Amino acid sequence: MTTTTAVPTPPARPRDPARRGSRPAASHAPPATRRAQARLGMLMVAPLVAVVAVFLLFPLANAVYYVFVDFNGIDVTPPWVGTANFTELAQDSDVWGAFKNNVIWIVLGTVAPLVIGLGYALLVWTVKRGSVLYRTALFLPYVLPQVAVGVVWSWIYDPTRGWLNRVLDAVGLGSLTRGWLGDPDTALYAVLGTAVWATSGFVFIIVLSALRNVDIELVEASMLDGANPAQRLRYVILPQIMPVFLMVTTITLIGGFSVFDIVFVMTGGGPAGATETLGTYAYSSAFQLNRISYGTTLALIITVMAIPFAVGLNRLQRRLSLEGTGA
Amino acid sequence: MSEHVNRTTPRRRVAIGLRHVALVALCLVMVFPLVLTVSTAFKDSKDVTTNPFGLFSSFSTENLETAWTVGHFGDYLLNSFLLTVPSTALVVVLSTMGGYVFARLPFPGRTMVFYLVILGLLVPFFAYMIPLYYQLRSMQLLDSLVGINLVLASTGLSFGTFFMRAFFSDLPQELEQAARMDGASEWKIFTRIMLPLVSSGIGALTVFTFLQNWNNFLVPLLYMPGGEYQPLTTGLYLFLGGRSVDIGPLAAGALITILPVVVLFVALQRQVTQGFLSGAVKG
């Protein structure tokens, strides 16, 4: 295995004029062929459409309906309440607390993995020996189930038996020890730390593959011109990987809106709401308090907030794959 | 790629050496929680309490046995396969066919259908997870292998279709024209000529989807309220609630949950990375 393994096949198609839009063979095919294609096409796509319609489109339409009624999970014809769910959400201080936590999560949970992942990638970039090993070790945490990650980190943070406090004691910082997940001041950051540990590898692997397209000659030339490492990064490397960097930023950012697994497993939103996010709050409203419509409204609001970023991401990705620089 | 390293001056060699030192240290930090899991899992119960921070002083499979039998991790492991294999197969088959159609077999209204299928890339599962619960309940698909498999599959179809479409769009026109001249049917062109050419894409999609479905926590948590067919992820969560004090068996449970992923990842590193990369670029 060489170091170039990470380049996927599909985006490597800068010069294929026919790929945009939906006009492949058919235009100059004879009518009989076109009819055969259409028949087979509809047949082949039917099961896909059926599954998507039943398990995505239908519940999504239902979600929009739930928002305007007050559904408790039992009532077959729930009463119409108009925008009452929205007004209540706007006045719910727990929602605002959760929102604040999400914002912290989105900012720190995006910036930290970006910086760390970029650092890893720059370190591994020109390494020849052991590159596969480094890639595996640094990317692995991202592939693991978040539940397991949460469980293991919970006992690293354990107040009495946890490694973190133990290490702090050993290096003479014993005054800093605490129950990391049980202390409202630190719980959010402790969970966030775990998430950063897990997601940095994702940024790393993407940036690393983008670095493969960076012009080494240019970097060397700037070195001869006396640019220091910071200048090289700022003026030579970063501009070249900027589209990919923006893309990975957006992906991490969007993930921050619907963060769930790791918070749910490590703290369940506690202590005293200190780690409550919009996702865990939507879950508990709907499935623990049976406030189905309320939870759905919250979940839809999360979606609506994330969509502009998703659209931006989509544009970015289209541009990337058109330029052929993608991944 | 980087031939420039060939002119190795002493100064450069030191720089490279330092880089390796830094990387090894970083890798140790990243892998440390895993080492901790493994070492705790193989301690005996006395060792766990008296020596919580060192490596195991005596190798013991006691914790693994407890997790396997008392903690039902044997069942969870089987359930994980029962929930992951069919759903992954469904995603791969339907997305491959869909990707082919959307790339090469036009029919009236195709573009609109395509956008409906792709909607899942824009709308997170979060948006409709709650109504889906009541829908599954009325379809009697809660606590059901069929139901969970279908839901897991549906969450991967948008990306899968988008992903495979990119592969099929890249294949040259001449291939199918030649085959058509020779009298091949449209279905034969798909199965005999096009499919083999996108096998690398199918491989990456398979591994990627398998991992996503294996690691999925929210879907079984929500739609398996009765607890039947619990996979490893929700099983581990239940186990955590059940015995928060008993770290040994918990570590063993975490190990059983993580191990298949680690093995798959190390063995198929290339496909996994490719899947995630394309997932980022396309998804």
* pLDDT tens digit at each of 283 positions of chain B: 444 545 567 887 888 888 899 999 999 989 989 988 888 888 877 777 666 666 677 788 888 988 999 889 999 999 999 999 999 999 999 999 999 999 999 999 999 999 999 998 888 898 999 999 999 999 999 999 999 999 999 999 999 999 999 999 989 988 888 888 888 899 999 999 999 999 999 999 999 999 999 999 999 999 999 988 999 999 999 988 765 567 888 899 999 999 999 999 999 988 888 888 877 654 3
Quickly tell me which residue has 């729930």 as its tokens: A78
Burial class (CB within 10 angstroms; exposed 0-12, middle 13-18, buried 19+) of A308: exposed
Per-residue pLDDT at A23: 47
Nearest-by-Cβ selection for B236 from A62, A151, A212: A151
Contact B186 A33 (CB under 8 A): yes
Q: Distance between CA A323 and CA B281 in Å, rounded?
A: 12
The pLDDT value recorded for residue A2 is: 30
Mutate to test the interface with A, among B111, B123, B126 (most CBs of A within 10 A): B126
Closest-CA distance of chain A to residue B77, Å = 14
Number of C-beta neighbours around residue A55 at 10 A = 24
Share of chain A above pLDDT 90, in %: 51
CB pairs under 8 A between A and B: 336
Cα(A129)–Cα(A133) distance, integer angstroms: 9
The interface residues of chain A toward chain B in range 14-33, judged by CB-CB distance below 8 A, are 16, 18-19, 22-26, 29, 33
Taking CB atoms and an 8 Å limit, are A282 and B126 in contact across chains?
yes
Contacts of B270 in chain A (CB under 8 A): 1, 5-6
A256 Cβ contact list (under 8 Å, min separation 6): A102, A105, A106, A109, A110
Which residues, at least 6 apart from B232, have a Cβ–Cβ distance to it below 8 Å?
A145, B73, B76, B77, B79, B80, B214, B256, B257
Q: How far is CA A323 from CA A19, A57, A243, A311, B177, in A?
A: 13, 33, 10, 18, 28
Distance CA B28, CA A140 (A): 12
For residue A265, the chain B residue with the least C-alpha distance is B237
What's the mean pLDDT when you consider all of chain A? 86
> Considering CB atoms only, which of A13, A137, A216 is closest to B31?
A137
Interface of A with B in 249-268 (CB under 8 A): 251, 254, 257-258, 260-261, 264-265
Per the CB < 8 A criterion, the answer to whether A115 and A252 are in contact is: no
Q: Are A95 and B194 in contact (CB under 8 A)?
A: no
Q: For residue A292, what is the nearest residue in chain B, using CA coordinates?
A: B130
- Provide the H-helix boundaries in B123-231: 129-138, 145-169, 173-181, 186-188, 195-197, 199-215, 218-223
Q: Which phi-psi region, left, alpha or beta, contains residue B138 (left: φ > 0; alpha: ψ -120 to 50)?
A: alpha
Contacts 24+ apart (CB under 8 A), B234-242: B234/A147, B235/B71, B235/B72, B235/B73, B235/B75, B235/B76, B235/B79, B236/A147, B236/A148, B236/A151, B236/B76, B237/A147, B237/A151, B237/A265, B239/B67, B239/B71, B239/B73, B240/A151, B240/A154, B240/A265, B242/B71
Nearest-angstrom CA–CA distance, A47 and B237: 34
Tell me, what amino acid is at A221? A
pLDDT-derived band at A167, boundaries 50, 70, 90:
confident
Residue A111: Cβ-neighbour burial (10 angstroms; 0-12, 13-18, 19+): middle
Instruction: Name the nearest CA neighbour of B29 among A131, A209, A193, A109.
Output: A193
ipTM metric: 0.90
Which residues sit opposite A80 in a β-bridge? A69
Which residue do the tokens 């991401």 mark?
A313
Residue of A244, A243, A218 lying closest to A231 (CA atoms): A218
How close is the nearest chain B Cα to the Cα of A170, in Å? 12
Is residue A52 scored above 60 in pLDDT?
yes
Residue B280 pLDDT: 65
How far is A46 from A52, CA to CA, in rounded Å?
10
Q: Cβ separation of B261 and A145 shorter than 8 Å?
A: yes
Q: Which residues of A touch B196 (CB under 8 A)?
A: none
Contact: A126, B5; criterion CB under 8 Å: yes
Cβ contact, residue pair A56, B123, below 8 Å: yes
- Would you call A315 an interface residue with chain B, using a CB distance cutoff of 8 Å? no
Instruction: Give the separation between CA A136 and CA A3, rounded to whole angstroms.
Output: 12
Is B127 within 8 Å of A9 when comparing Cβ atoms? no
Distance, CA of A26 to CA of B106 (rounded, Å) = 7
* A9 closest CA partner among B271, B175, B158, B211: B271
Which residues in chain A are closer than 8 Å to B205, comparing Cβ atoms? none
pLDDT tens-digit series, residues A202-261: 999 999 989 988 888 888 888 888 888 888 898 889 988 888 888 888 888 888 888 999
pLDDT reported for residue A219? 86
CA distance A204 to A210: 10
Question: A 275-314 residues with CB below 8 A of B?
Answer: 279, 282, 286-287, 292, 295-296, 299-300, 302-303, 306-307, 310-311, 314
Amino acid at the residue A313: L
Give tens-digit pLDDT for B179-190. Answer: 888 888 999 999
A208 touching B (Cβ < 8 Å):
no
> Which of B102, B187, B277 is the best substitution to test chain A (most A C-beta atoms within 10 A)?
B277
CA A219, CA B102: separation in Å to the nearest integer? 42
Lowest model confidence (mean pLDDT) among A7-16, A152-161, B257-266: A7-16
With CB atoms and an 8 Å threshold, state whether B30 touches A137.
yes
Q: How far apart are CA A312 and CA A318, in angstroms?
A: 10
A271: cis peptide before it, omega within 30°? Answer: yes
The whole-angstrom distance between residue A312's C-alpha and the CA centroid of its chain comes to 14
Residue B200, Cβ density class (10 Å: 0-12 exposed, 13-18 middle, ≥19 buried): middle
Q: Output Rg (C-alpha) for chain B, integer angstroms.
A: 24
Q: Hey, is the C-beta of A48 within 8 angstroms of any chain B C-beta?
A: yes
Kindly state the DSSP code that residue B228 receives in the 8-state scheme. T
The C-alpha angle A260, A266, A269, rounded to 5 degrees, equals 60
Collapsing DSSP to helix, strand or coil, A80 comes out as strand
Question: Which residues in chain A have Cβ-Cβ distances shorter than 8 Å to B153?
Answer: 51, 55
